[in-house]
Amino acid sequence: MIKLDYSQQKCPYPVIETRKQILAHPGISLEVLVGDQAGRDNVSRLAEKMGYQASAETATEGFRLTLTPAAATESVGEIPVVASQKGKTVIYCGSDRMGSGADEFGRVLMKNFLMTLLEMDPLPDLVLFVNSGIQLTTTESEALEALKKLADKGVDLASCGLCLDYYQKKEHLKVGRVTNMYEMVEAQTKAARVITP
């Protein structure tokens, strides 16, 4: 059994690292320590989606999860793709924040979303940055590291040229390329999925 201690880590770290361990050691049981109830619930859901049975008990550090491969699992770590899901995936970032509420916290959530996106398989085909979303691809963005890694993995990153002009950021673009409204509309109408964080 592999023992992992993520009790000092916040979401999404425990989920991402547990997924990596499941994929690296298919069919092997894991014991995962998480620090709070959200971590317990999120890691349990992930494990069940990946063909593991999850049981939890209270521990000094928070919760101790035991993840055991289900006997009937044919292919651990893979979720079948339904025919209707085949095709290009476009992520539409219309803001530099995720959700509504406190702006600073929304920026933290967006950065976490983009970092977590790196762990998805398959990766999206295209990420569009529109309106204040272009702030993510320009100088001083805290998301640049995650975006550069996505670009290195072949994800097409495209920032709205009109938006870059409006915010006077065209000279500050640090990752990806400049796009236009026609291409953005075409990409979204032809995509199998458009996801807005």
Average the pLDDT over 1-26 and give the result. 89
For residues 18 and 6, what is the distance between their CA atoms, to the nearest angstrom?
9
Superfamily designation of domain 83-195? DsrEFH-like (3.40.1260.10)
Q: In the CATH hierarchy, which fold is given to the domain comprising 2-69?
A: Translation Initiation Factor IF3 (3.30.110)
Interval 13-30 mean pLDDT: 90
Q: Is residue 83 pLDDT above 60, yes or no?
A: no
DSSP sequence for 146-183: HHHHHHHTT-EEEEEHHHHHHTT-GGGB-SSEEE-HHH
Q: Span 178-190, mean pLDDT?
A: 92
- Cβ-based neighbour number of residue 167 at 10 Å: 15
**Residues 53-70: pLDDT tens digits?**
999 999 998 999 999 998
What global pTM score does this model have?
Answer: 0.68
